[in-house]
Every structure is written in structure tokens, then in C-alpha cells.
Structure 1
Amino acid sequence: MNASLPAPAIRRPRPHVAIIGAGPGGLAAAMQLAAGGARVSIYEKDSVVGGRTRTLQAPGGYRFDLGPTFFLYPRILEEIFAACGATLQDEVELLRLDPQYRLIFEGADGRNATLDATPDLDRLEAAIRAIAPQDAPGVRRFMSENREKLAAFKPALERPFLSAADLMAPDMLRSLKHLRPHKMVDGDLRRYFSDPRIRLAFSFQTKYLGMSPFKCPSMFTILSFLEYEFGVFHPRGGCGAVSEAMARVAERLGVEIHLSTPVEEVTFDGARATGLVAGGRAIAADAVVMNADFAHATPKLIPNGIRKAWSDGKIAKARYSCSTFMLYLGVEGRFPELAHHTILLSQEYQRNIAQIEAGEIPSVPSLYIHNPVNTDETMAPPGHSALYVLVPVGNLRGGVTDWEAEAPRFRDIAISRLKALGLHDLESRIRTERMVTPQGWQDEFAVGFGATFNLSHDLLQMLNFRPRNRFNDTRGLYLVGGGTHPGSGLPVIYEGARITAKLVQQDLGMAVTVDTSMAAE
């Protein structure tokens, strides 16, 4: 051999990343890791992708979103698709809604007030003025100050919190005056709106986190701001269409998606994850990313002895979101009087919350109804509707434990409550029906304690105090999804997937291709 010739380049094998779960966080992480050059495999226990962000197919041609029913702040997913050589709008048709939703505030003796929440601020001010004239001037001040709040909150959404020192970073300290961590959402909104109904119009969004506006940290007023600033969208075909598009792009990048393949355990050498066992087969991996529900999966998949920060005892004592009682109703006829999204807010709203927190079944519950066929006729057969009814209820921790006995009675209460929306003859027109109770969320959909919005987002379960993206006390094991930082909600989960993918790339010595730039202009 000629000594003057350069030595042949040593080709390093592509690192293998195994992902548990094909929910939105797992799919987003897979896309980015594959685009960065990793070999990626997803192992999903169900026969479809999407986790709770999937489309249910019902007899007769009805289609329902299982969980999320709208798409908010598409910019993050647009950036993820672009980083993977794709375009979100080419893969999914997103329809912007106006009104975004209709709020019905129940009053005494049937004297209800209705607010169509439009992103047109002139019209929104006029609609508020018709209910509470003194509160209309607060709208633009709310928007302006929350625009600043979102900018201040960006550091917490775009990076991992891996130690207590991260809480003391200069940008975090500068953000405190905007975030007002000592206040709750309803209390913060009193600076803009005096009428409790208008405050509720800008705070019911805390239910996206499974929390009460009276106990949810004030930083989450940005949820309603995001809706008015950037829009509420319906993906044609339902939110499952977004998950299916993500899976298509991932597979084009070489990701292997193994459906109907449950994971039995994560394997370790000491505290380092070495792979997993799925479908009875051992799979070696350089990194493992867990997208399964945190409270449900962690005690089953990760040995308790490794988890000092999040032991079984800590998981059992943690605070969790409320649950939901669900009805998916295929109904003959159309309901043009219903908006695409309608929220019925009980006159006893605060009592509802107290009952849920006490583990009681709400007596006169508030509820949400999704009527997508007014926007998207693909969701039901011609002349029919696919109605999704959600009623917040307590989770399985300290609440109702015998939902098999309680469900028929509560189902009748929910159907009866729909009469307040003008649906008086609904029962006779139901052609297909499916019910999911908190017990069903736990047993059928593997949601810990039936808490559909995961760990509660109180101050001591956020940032550094939430399970970390590089999972506490382990090496080579990472988390994505609502149970880790930054938290629940699709845009936040997608941002969390960017954080996790970047950590994996750094730890495996790969080129970092993930750009975490939420809300960058």
C-alpha cells in the first residue's frame, strides 16, 4: 500500500432510535430524527397511527376525531415539515374557522347569552359589547399584552429544563413580570374584563390542559390569545388526517412504523437504555424515545429502581388533569343552528368545577359539542351529522370508580343537556353511538388514571419539575408527549418533539438539524 495515499474514510453506522408510540409527539420526533440521518423505528400498540389524535371510523360512514378536534398554531408543524423536505399544506387541507367557536352562557329561566368568538377583532368587540359593554375595550389590551407574554414565554417552550439552574437563566428571570406566576388565569383576566362571562370566554381554554381557570397559572392566558392571533383550523377529514400526513412523510424519510406491536419493556444496562422488547422481540437501539402516556407506561416499561425522581410512588401521588366523558353520535339530519364548535357553559360553572375536583359527577354539567359537517361534509354520510360530545368529569383518582354503573345515567344527563342547544329530538335520530368514560380512557386507550390531559400543569409540575425530555436518572431514554416538558396541547407537544429530537442528536453525536424557533417571525 502506498503510504502517501489517504486512509479510507471510516463510515460510522447510522444510529438507531426506537420510538414507543405513534402519537403526535412520536411522529414529529421520528420525522426530524430521520431527516437528520438516524435510522428510526416506531412501535405502536394500536392498528393506526395518531394515538388520541386519530380519526374513528363508525358504522354507516361516520367519522369522528377521538381526542383533539381542531388544529391551533400550525406554524410549528409547518416548520417541522419544511425541515423534512415537505410542505404541511400540500399534505393536509387546513380550513380556518370563523367563528372559531360559539359560546352559550346559560342564564336564569332560559335567558342565555351567545358569543360568536371571531378572530375579527372589530366584530369580537361588538359581540362583547352586546353582552358586557364595559368589557369591549379590554380586548385589544388583552391581545397586546399577551403578545408580549408569548414572546416572554418562548424560552420556556423552546428548550429543555434539565436542572434547577435552568430556572434561573436570565431570560427566564426577565419573563417573570410578564408571566405573573403568582396569579391564576381568571385573576389575571380581571385586569381586562369585569363580567365573569367574558372572562370565561377567554379562560375556558384551560380545559385544553384539563384545568380550572381558577387554579391554572396565569401564563396560560396565551391559549386564547393564540386562537385569536393565529386562527383555529379544521383539517379536512379530521385531526387524524394530520397524524396520517406525518406518518406518510416519516415513511418517505425511511422511518419504519410497526403497527399492532406493543412494547413490553425498555431494556437497560445499568441506567442506560439499550433498546426495547416489542411484540416479544428484543430490539437494540442507541436511543429510546417514549411517546406513550407517562403515568400509564412508565411503571410498566421502566424499572422502578432506576427512577428516583419519578418512582412509582411519585407517579401515584402526582397531580393529574380531569377526565372526559365522551359520546360519538352518528345522527340523521343536519344541525345548521350549531356552530362547528359549540361550548355550553352552565350557569353553575364554578359548582361544576368544584364537583369535578371533589370526584363527584357534575349535576348540571357544561359541555362541548363538535359539529364538523357544517364545514367538512366528509365527516358523515349525506344528510347526516357526526356529533362529538365532551363533558369534563373527574379522573379515576378519588372520583367515580364504577363507571359501568354510572355511565347510562350520565349519558342521559348529557343527552338531556343538549336540549339547551335546541337539540330536542336527538335521541330518535341517533343511528350509531359510541361512549368513552374515564375507565375507557384508561383501559382501552392506555391513559393513566383516565386523565385525558396528562399531568396537571400547576407550577410545581412544569418546567424543571415536569418529567424531563432527557428522562431523569437515565441515559439514552427520552420523552415526548403531554407528560413531559413543555406540556399538553398539540402545538406544545410538537415543540416538545423538537426539543427531544435535538437532545437525541446532540447525545448521539449527530449533526443538529432541529431548529427550535417557536413563534419566530
Structure 2
Amino acid sequence: MNLGSRKDAAKVAVVGAGPGGLAAAMLLAAEGYDVEVYEKQAVVGGRSGQLELGKYRFDRGATFLMMPHLLEELFTSAGRSLEDYITLKELDPLYSLHFGDTVFTPSTDQDRTAAEIEKLFPGNGNGYRRFMDDEAAKFDRVMPLLQRPFQSVGDYVKKDVLRALPKLHATDTVYNRLSKYFNDERLRYAFTFQAKYLGMSPWECPGTFTILSYLEHRYGLYHPIGGVNQIFQAMAKVISEHGGVVHTSCGVKRVLVHNGHTTGLLLENGEKVEADYVIIGADFGSVMTQLFEPDVLKRYTPEKVDRKRYSCSTAMLYLGVDGAVDLAHHSVHFAEDYRLNVDEITRLGTLSADASMYIHNPSVIDPTLAPPGKSSIYMLMPVPNLKADIDWDQVGPSVQEEMLERLQHTAGIDNLTQRIEESLFFSPLDWRDQLNVYNGATFNLAHNLGQMMYLRPHNTFQEVKGIWLVGGGTHPGSGLPTIFESAKISARLLTEHDRAARSRMIAAGITWKGATL
């Protein structure tokens, strides 16, 4: 549907220029809606935006793109071609996984990966092939569930859901599922650490999410030249090309509500923005606890929001380093006792003496992120969220020192401290205080069984009419591919609602002036 004249189109205000907010805004602007996006930060992308330290540039959050065809479809739906805005480079191998002296470098070439598995973990090559075959069948059933809303209990008895249920393994765990294919503990970790993308333990994460490692091995991982943040800058450009506006350094103070229906936004600068509809793409917990007047919400009161389960957090270290660094684009160094490390993060709420580390070295394939001959290094250590009794003001410096030590010695970077030209340490407190991430939970609401599909906050907001949710805090969940799907779902639901409202008004003989019911 194209609405024709923009002066007759409904006004849509979008809270937050994160991946979900921008994707929904792009789709709606392409449909002819009068779209304006309001972002508190100076740059777009939310927790996946660009960070600049001197002449070095970094992805603040997400560092690779999975399933790029979903993003291509998104741009096509907005009347654009992704390749006109973004250059993608496929990663081969996918990443470098370090278990002490053993290094596993899988790729999308299944024959090559199976051969490497047999060499490093004898007797597991056939298990890998069985896993890939079984997950292919599972993915065919699961993917449709990620592309549709779950807004009533009745959605569970629809044909596509009933067809998928036996394949979901939702009551099992990711670790248990992988144990059916691999007998080497290290290999199990190599196919379960992806639960980190959801901020969860593979010993607790529903078995549905074994598809994450399958998707990496089946579809590959891609690096956008300039960083993942370039995707969101491209989306902002497309929104502008369609007549929409993206306001940065322009925070929202309140979502305005009258008689149970949103009427727009109150900005932090005091300006009131009238809108027929609102898309909320900002962090779920922070929005529910900060952007509505007291007593407006019943289902999502501050107390109820606080009782929900949240993902872990991350301690981040961004470094501008003089000289080249001999590391893969992505590498993961597993703790010697990985189970204990994960339990300390997700159950015990303590910092690990032996922590796992993720290192991103994009300069090895992308010269745009650092000055010539230099490197932009990103290091991530999963840590408990702010529910844990950890004083980050006190322990932050020692955690930063530990990360530097691990990077220099475990990863083998010579003379690292002497080569550092720029440095920034980012703790769970910074995620909360600078980027409004509730509890510092980097990956949003947890993906336990009680917070999936119908039990996750709905795409059509249940509390106030005229509001739709996008992003990691709604269905289908966190991670860029699913966030993009949430944007498609919510944009479609808004459009369907708007079309029906317009038809009712026309049938009643009411002149359409952009107001909706």
C-alpha cells in the first residue's frame, strides 16, 4: 500500500534509532507514512552504533551480520538495493575458537569443517553432519514462527505452529541437544557458545536456539565494510530519501497517552510531537520504567518489569593499537572451566577468575576502521548484569587490567600496552547510564521459555492503543536477524490496522485527515 500524498498520511513517531526502530521506520516511510525518528544519542544504531576514539572507529555492539538475505529483503521492501549502500565481505573461516592449545576454525564448507573436526576431535565428524541435516529440517519449521506475531494463545494452535512444535525442543536445552551429536566437550562448546548472543547459559537456553550455530555454519557470517554500524547509517539515509526524518541528540521524555491511546511524544527539550501512531524501538525495560506516566501501565509496572528475567551484561574494551595485529577477524578464547564461567555469570552473579573472552580484529580485513598500519581492537567479556552485587566503580579498573593482560598474553599480542594509542573501557554501568540499557543487560530480556513467543511482550503493545514494539525486547527476540523480523512484523501490523481504520472512516463518510481510530 502506498498512501499517496504525505499530507494525508498518518504520522508515525519512532522512539529510538536502534536496528528495530530504523528498520520499521524505513519500511513505513517507503509506504508513504509521515515518519520521524527520535534518538537520544548523537549517532544512530543504538547499542550497535558507531564509536569513535580519535582516528579509530569501532562497532559498539554487534560485530558481524548473519543471514544477510533477510537484510536484503528488508531493503527491497523499502524500494532499495542493499548493495547500493553496503559492501559485505564474507568471513572465512567463521571464527577462531581457542581451547587452550587447540584451535578450531570452522567454515561454511561442510566437508572442510567435518575434516577439521575429525582431525581435532576424532569420531565427531559424522555427528556434525547429522547436526547440520537435522537443524536444516528444524529451521524450515522454526523460521515461519519468527516471521509472524504471537498475540493470542490461539496462535499456538495454528497449523504452522503445530507443525513446528515437535522440532522446537523448547523444553530441552541447547547444551543437551548438542550432546546428542558430539562426545567431545570442547566441540559441544563450539556449537553452544552462540547462546551468548541471547545473553544466556547453554545449560538453560531452550533447545530451540541450536539453530544459531546451524545458521552460522549454513549461511555464513559477514563483515560490512566500515562496520555493522554502516547498516544503520544506510537505513537512516533510506528513511530520509523517502521523506522521513531522523533526529539525533533528541531524547524522548514521555510517551503521551490520552484515554488509553497514544497521542505522541514529549521530547526532553520540552517539545510535544503529535502522532497517530508510535513505534517503540528503545530498550524495553528502560522504556517501561521511564517513559510512561505513573499508573498508565498495569501489565508492565516497574515492579513487574523488574521481576522479569534479563540477559547477562558485557564488559567491553575498545583499543586503538599502533601496528598490525596477528589475530583472526573473530576469535573466542574459552575459559578452562567453561561451565563454571557461565554459571558465575548467569546464576551466581560473580566475576570469574578465569573468564572467556571474545576478540574482534576487523582491521585484518577492513582498512577503513583505523589509520594506515594500525588496528582497531574490540574485546568483550560476558559478565553478570546489574542485578548482581558487584561494585563496578570499584572493580572496573582491575577488570580492565585483566582484559589487557589476557589480550597481551593469551592472544599473543606483543608489547600491547606500549602500542595502545586510544582506549575505552565500558562496563555494565556504562550500558545502563550512557545507553539506557535496563540492568545493563546487553542482550535485553532473557529468552527462557516463559519469555518466548506469546509470553514475550507483543509486537502490538498490550497496554496502550496505537503503539507497536520492535527490537530485542519483543517477539521474536534479540539478535539482528530477529530484530529485523520484529520490525517487519510490527510495520505490517501497523499498516493493517491503519488500512482498516481508514476504511471504517471512509465507510462512515468521515474525511480522512491522517487521524486514526
**Class of the TM-score when normalised by the shorter of the 2 chains:** over 0.9
1:426 corresponds, among 416, 421, 439, to 416
2:361 corresponds, among 363, 371, 374, to 371
**Equivalence for 1:57:** 52
SS in 1 for 2:443: coil
2:107 corresponds, among 118, 135, 141, to 118
Specify whether residues 248 and 257 from structure 1 end up closer, same or farther in structure 2 by C-alpha distance, changes over 3 A only: same
**Equivalence for 2:12:** 17
The one-letter code matched in structure 2 to 1:241 is: Q
**Equivalence for 2:26:** 31
SS in 1 for 2:8: coil
Alpha-carbon distance in structure 2 between the residues aligned to 1:99 and 1:155: 29
**Is residue 2:402 matched to residue 1:413?**
yes
Alpha-carbon distance in structure 2 between the residues aligned to 1:510 and 1:383: 58
**Equivalence for 1:6:** none
**Equivalence for 1:83:** 77
**Is residue 2:479 matched to residue 1:485?**
no
Alpha-carbon distance in structure 2 between the residues aligned to 1:47 and 1:178: 43
**Equivalence for 1:144:** 133
1:269 corresponds, among 251, 254, 258, to 258
Q: CA deviation at 1:366?
A: 0.4
Alpha-carbon distance in structure 2 between the residues aligned to 1:348 and 1:334: 31
Asked whether the equivalents of residues 14 and 39 of structure 1 are also in contact (C-alpha less than 8 Å), the reply is: yes
The one-letter code matched in structure 2 to 1:37 is: G
Specify whether residues 47 and 134 from structure 1 end up closer, same or farther in structure 2 by C-alpha distance, changes over 3 A only: same
**Is residue 2:88 matched to residue 1:94?**
yes
Q: CA deviation at 1:69?
A: 0.4
Taking structure 1 as the reference length, the TM-score comes to: 0.93
**Equivalence for 2:513:** none
Q: CA deviation at 1:175?
A: 1.1
Deviates further, 167-176 or 273-282: 167-176
Matches within 5 A, 1:244-255: 244-255=233-244
Deviates further, 412-421 or 325-334: 412-421
1:287 corresponds, among 277, 280, 297, to 277
The one-letter code matched in structure 2 to 1:330 is: G
**Equivalence for 1:516:** none
Alpha-carbon distance in structure 1 between the residues aligned to 2:7 and 2:234: 31
SS in 1 for 2:272: strand
Alpha-carbon distance in structure 1 between the residues aligned to 2:273 and 2:353: 50
Asked whether the equivalents of residues 310 and 467 of structure 1 are also in contact (C-alpha less than 8 Å), the reply is: no
Tell me the C-alpha RMSD between the 2 structures.
1.7
SS in 2 for 1:503: helix
Runs of 4+ in 1 over 4 A off after TM superposition: 9-12
What does the per-residue CA deviation read over 1:259-289, in whole Å, with 9 as the maximum and x for residues that have no partner? 1111110111121111111131111111001
Aligned length: 496
Alpha-carbon distance in structure 2 between the residues aligned to 1:478 and 1:76: 21
Asked whether the equivalents of residues 184 and 217 of structure 1 are also in contact (C-alpha less than 8 Å), the reply is: yes
**Equivalence for 2:290:** 300
Alpha-carbon distance in structure 1 between the residues aligned to 2:484 and 2:6: 32
Alpha-carbon distance in structure 1 between the residues aligned to 2:11 and 2:482: 26
1:72 corresponds, among 51, 66, 70, to 66
SS in 2 for 1:378: coil
2:383 corresponds, among 373, 393, 398, to 393
Q: CA deviation at 1:11?
A: 10
Asked whether the equivalents of residues 36 and 511 of structure 1 are also in contact (C-alpha less than 8 Å), the reply is: no
**Equivalence for 2:216:** 227
Q: CA deviation at 1:149?
A: 1.0
Gaps of at least 5 residues in structure 1 are 1-8, 107-111, 513-521
SS in 1 for 2:457: coil
Alpha-carbon distance in structure 1 between the residues aligned to 2:320 and 2:123: 42
Q: CA deviation at 1:307?
A: 2.3
**Is residue 2:458 matched to residue 1:468?**
yes
Percent identity over paired residues: 44
**Equivalence for 1:316:** 306
Q: CA deviation at 1:29?
A: 0.3
Q: CA deviation at 1:10?
A: 12
Specify whether residues 508 and 73 from structure 1 end up closer, same or farther in structure 2 by C-alpha distance, changes over 3 A only: same
**Is residue 2:454 matched to residue 1:454?**
no
1:509 corresponds, among 477, 488, 499, to 499
Q: CA deviation at 1:299?
A: 1.3
Asked whether the equivalents of residues 43 and 50 of structure 2 are also in contact (C-alpha less than 8 Å), the reply is: no
Specify whether residues 68 and 177 from structure 1 end up closer, same or farther in structure 2 by C-alpha distance, changes over 3 A only: same
Taking structure 2 as the reference length, the TM-score comes to: 0.94
Specify whether residues 413 and 271 from structure 1 end up closer, same or farther in structure 2 by C-alpha distance, changes over 3 A only: same
SS in 2 for 1:413: helix
Q: CA deviation at 1:148?
A: 1.2
Asked whether the equivalents of residues 358 and 381 of structure 2 are also in contact (C-alpha less than 8 Å), the reply is: yes
Gaps of at least 5 residues in structure 2 are 503-517
Asked whether the equivalents of residues 358 and 399 of structure 1 are also in contact (C-alpha less than 8 Å), the reply is: no
Asked whether the equivalents of residues 350 and 388 of structure 2 are also in contact (C-alpha less than 8 Å), the reply is: no
Q: CA deviation at 1:35?
A: 1.2
**Equivalence for 2:177:** 188
Alpha-carbon distance in structure 2 between the residues aligned to 1:47 and 1:11: 28
SS in 1 for 2:433: helix
